[in-house]
Amino acid sequence: MDVTPVDLERAGRNLALWSVAASAVLALLKIAVGLAAHSTAVVSDGFEAVADVFSSGIVFIGLWLASRPPDQNHPYGHGRYETLAGLFVGSLLVFTGIAICWRSFLTMANPEQVRLFAIYPLLVAIATKIVFAVLKWRSSRRLSSTSLAADAWHDVTDLFSTGIALTAVLLSVVGPPHFQKADAAGGMIIALIVVSVGLRLIKHAVAQLTDTMPDDQFMAQIRAVALGVPGAMGIEKCFARRTGFKYHVDLHLEVDPDLTVRQSHEIAVRVKIEIKRRLDWVADVLVHVEPAHVVGPTIDRPPPERTLPGH
């Protein structure tokens, strides 16, 4: 059975929803065990998991809003809600990282003896995040979803941060007094990773909100498909901007200046159809017809057919 875009979007929303539930359980488990085991790194990782709950919830809402069809007030669709969700996730990561760094700095002055059982929630978190990261990456590629990809990066960050927390706990337990401050230092490293990933996601989302052009290779694909249509003589201008999951293209197509309006329009329609058919990452194409600069004599064509009114 064929999978429709609607089915993919629904699967993406369900995946984000399950991620919210898993992150909530992991957050409570890490904070509770971290406090009981006197581990700053585990507690910090727990608060980072709290940010996961909010970010995954935001992604779920963003995907739901972005999947709504175009309407009179939103002719390009609602895809920008999904981009805004990615921007909010990145901002949340930055603020969470700063908070974790500050808490780790305060606890480094008076480190406590960390208990070994602090590693148990970390092992559970590593296994869970690996599963969700793989699933989200696959769904984000199928949907071309910025926010779902952002959430997948968030899970990858969790793996690094949880691994650092695990290493810090083991060093604090096995190697005191030389590694007595390893637990607090691990919390600070986690904070720096979270902030760096958050800044990266913000940069990506801002690029989309400011209508940054796609890479040259994508623009070359648009031009190649358009020029492959019979009657297309050149491209004067070609722009593209992302509005959520896909791109909208503005194309100034050059045709023979001696063609009729109807003939020029037919070529433009074929160009639009071919681009949308062959490039699945293009949502729509607006083609503006321009007269080509023809050098030399033009080919004589019969006058266009005329029909009397009512025939």
Structural domains of the chain, ranges and CATH numbers in brackets: 5-209 (1.20.1510.10), 216-291 (3.30.70.1350)
For residue 285, what pLDDT is reported?
92
Q: What is the pTM of this model?
A: 0.61
User: By C-alpha distance, which of 236, 230, 294 is closest to 264?
Assistant: 230
For residue 221, what pLDDT is reported?
92
Stretch (H or E) spanning 300: none
For residue 194, what pLDDT is reported?
78
For residue 83, what pLDDT is reported?
76
User: By C-alpha distance, which of 156, 149, 157 is closest to 195?
Assistant: 157
For residue 242, what pLDDT is reported?
84
Low-confidence ranges of the chain (pLDDT < 50): 1, 298-311
For residue 302, what pLDDT is reported?
45
108, 181 contact by CB (below 8 A): yes
For residue 305, what pLDDT is reported?
46
Residue by residue, DSSP assigns 10-78 as HHHHHHHHHHHHHHHHHHHHHHHHHHHTT-HHHHHHHHHHHHHHHHHHHHHHHHHHHTSPP-SS-TT-S
